[in-house]
Chain A
Amino acid sequence: MERIISARFDIPNADQLDVYLEHGGYRALKKVLTEMTPEQVIEEVKKSALRGCGGAGFPTGMKWGFVPKDSPKPKYLVCNADESEPGTFKDRQIMEKDPHGLIEGILIGAYAIGAHLAFIYIRGEYWYLKEKLERVIDEARQGGYVGRNILGTGFDCDIIVHPGAGAYICGEETALLESLEGKRGYPRLKPPFPASVGLYGCPTVINNVETLAWVPHIILRGGEWFHRLGTEKSGGHRLYSLSGHVVRPGVYERPLGYPLKRLIYEDGGGIRDGKRLKAVVPGGASSPILTAEEAESATLDYEPLAALGTMMGSGAVIVMDEDTDIVRTTYSFIKFFAHESCGWCVPCREGTRWMVKIFERLLRGGGTERDLEMLVTLSDNMFGRTHCPLGDAAAWAVGPAVKKFRADFERYLTRRGAVAAD
C-alpha cells in the first residue's frame, strides 16, 4: 500500500526546505495560487471527503465553505496542534518529520478561506517542536513561501506558532480560541460557530495538523483520488497511533475502513509476550472501550465504530492484554478527565470529581455493589448534558467500562466495604 502523508517520514532531512522541494514540496501551493480560485480549492477538498482528524470528524471542505465570503472582518486559520488526547501522537510525527507539509497545507487552507494570518496552537510540552516550526517557517519565509507576496502571486499570509501551557481542554476548538485570545480556556457557546464568529470575533477555521497536512496531497492528486482511497463517506488514509500492549507500537498510515484486528496483529505485531487481547480503546481516551470480541470485527471508520457504540476520535488505538486491570485503566482515564475538566459546567466538574472518589474507594477496598450502580448512574447523568464534549468523554470512559468489564470491578467489592458504606 502506498504511503502518502507519511511518505516523507523516512526521508532524511525532509524537514529542510531544499529536501522538501526535491520531494514535491510546495507544488500544491503553487498550483493553488496560480491556477485555482479559493472556491475551486474548497470544491476539491469537498470532493475528497476529507474528514477532520482531530476527533470530531467533520467534513473539512464543508467547514471551509461556511466561512462568509463577504465579511469585512479579517479571517483566520488556526491549526490545532494541541495533540493531548491520551493515546495520540501522530501530529507530533508530522511536525517533526514533515513540517513543511503542514505549512503548505496551512497556506492552502488560508488561501481557500481568505485568511492572511494563521496560527499553529501547539501544546506547551512540544516546546522543541514549537521552536522547530518557527525555524521552518523562517526558512519558508526566506524561500518566499510564507509572508508577503507568496511566490510572487500577491497572496500574503503569515504564520504564528503559539504555545499552549498545559490544558487538554484547549484542544477543543473554542477553548483553543479563548486561550489564543489570552484568556482561560473555557469552551464557548455554540452557535455561533467559529466559521462565523471565531478568533477576535472574526470568521475562523480550526483544523487539526493531520487534516491540514493532507490538503497538499489532495490538491496535487485530486479529490476523487483521495475519496477512492477510503470509504463511501470518508476519504483517504489516516494516521493511526497504536500504543499499549502491542509488539510494535507506533504511527501507521492506513486507509479508512481498515480492520482494527489487522492494525493490531499485522502492523502492531500482535500482543506482547504472546498474551491474549482483552480490550481496545479505538479512538483515544474519549472513545468508549471495546471488548476483544467487539474488536474482532471492528473496522476503523466512523459509522461502523459508531454502530459499536464508540468512535473514530483521533485514531488512537490503545491495546490492553488479558492481564490488564480495567478498573485501573478506567481510573486512569477518569483521573485524567477530572484533572482536565475546565470546571465550567456542573456535571463534568462535579461528576468527574465524584467518580474519582468512588474509584479511589474501590481501589482502597471499600467498594460496594452500589458504587458500581452509582458509576453507571453518574455516567448517564453526565452524558449528553455537559457544555462541551469533554464531559461526554468522561462519562463514556466509565459507564461502558463498568458494564462491559463488570467482573474486573466486582473483584474490588468487599464485605468490609459493604458495611462501611451502609
Chain B
Amino acid sequence: MFSQQAEREIDRLLARYPRKRSAIIPVLFIAQKERGYLSDDVLEYVAKRMGLTYLDVVTVVSFYTMFYRRPIGKYNIQLCNNVSCMLCGSEKIQEHIERKLGITFGQTTPDGRFTLTEVQCLGSCGTAPVMQVNFDYYENLTPENVDQILDSLP
C-alpha cells in the first residue's frame, strides 16, 4: 500500500519492539506521512499489517491529536494558545494569521495550502509565542515574522 521504503521502515519497526503492538504510533506516523491523513483504508491496512483489528487501531488513533482522520492543508500551522504564549501575545498572532489567511482554528484555506490548528503547550514557553508548521518550530513570533515565515514556505 505504501512506498517500498515506508514498507521496509514498517517492517523494521515491527521487529524492533519486544511486542509488535508497541510499534503502532510510529507506524501510523509513517502511514500519515505517506498518505497525508489516516483514511479508513489506511487504518484497515495498518491493522492487518500489525495483526490487530480495525477497532484496535481506530480507537488508538482517536486518542492522539497528531493523527488526522481527514485531509488537511499542505502546511499545518499549529499555534500554541497555552498560558505562556497567551501572556506573550499569541492571541494577536492568531488574529493576524486569521486575517491573513481568512480561516480560523480548525479550517483549511480553499487552495488546500494552510490549515490553522490550535495546539497545547509546545514546550517553547521561554520563546513564546510559538507555532509549529508541520514539524518545524517557529519561535518568538511577531506579526511581521509570521508574514515572512508563511510567505517564504515553498
Contacts and interface: CB of A to CB of B under 8 A. Distances in A.
A319 B83 CA distance: 10
Contacts of A53: none
Given A200-B19, A250-B126, A124 B66 contact: yes
B116 interface: no
Given A124-B29, A181-B22, A200-B19, A244 B123 contact: no
A127 B135 contact: yes
Interface in B87-144: 87-88, 119-128, 132, 135-137
B120 A84 contact: yes
Interface in B21-64: 21-26, 28-29, 59-60, 63-64
B8 interface: no
Contact of B66 (A83, A125, A168, A342): A125
Given A182-B21, A285-B83, A249 B127 contact: yes
B63 to A, nearest CB: 4
A394 interface: no
Given A241-B126, A244-B88, A167 B25 contact: no
Contacts of B59: 184
Most chain A CB inside 10 Å of its own CB: which residue of B26, B84, B127: B84
A392 B117 CA distance: 27
A183 B127 CA distance: 33
Contact of A243 (B21, B66, B84): B84
Interface residues of B, number: 40
A245 B64 contact: no
Contacts of B123: 83-84, 88-89, 91-92, 123, 125-126
B29 A320 contact: no
Interface residues of A, number: 56
Interface stretch (A138-146, A324-332, A402-410): A324-332
Chain B contact residues: over half helix, strand or loop, or mixed?
mixed
Most chain A CB inside 10 Å of its own CB: which residue of B29, B59, B65, B121: B121
B134 to A, nearest CB: 9
A234 B74 CA distance: 48
Contacts of A123: 123
Contacts of A182: 19, 21-25, 60
A185 B63 contact: yes
A168 B126 contact: no
B67 interface: yes
Nearest to B57: A182
A339 interface: yes
A15 B25 CA distance: 27
Nearest to B28: A165
Given A89-B125, A165-B66, A333 B83 contact: yes
A340 interface: yes
Contact of A74 (B18, B87, B127): B18
A182 B23 CA distance: 7
A137 interface: no
Nearest to B121: A86
Given A167-B63, A243-B128, A128 B88 contact: no
Interface stretch (A97-105, A156-164, A299-307): A156-164
B80 to A, nearest CB: 9
Contacts of A88: 121, 123, 125
A160 B86 contact: no
B76 to A, nearest CB: 12
Interface of A: 74, 83-89, 91-92, 117, 123-128, 160, 162-168, 179-185, 200, 241-245, 249-251, 281, 285, 316, 318-320, 324, 328-329, 332-333, 336, 339-340, 342
Given A249-B128, A285-B83, 8 more contacts: A165-B65, A166-B64, A180-B22, A241-B126, A318-B87, A319-B87, A329-B87, A332-B82
6 contacts: A117-B18, A125-B66, A185-B64, A243-B128, A320-B87, A332-B86
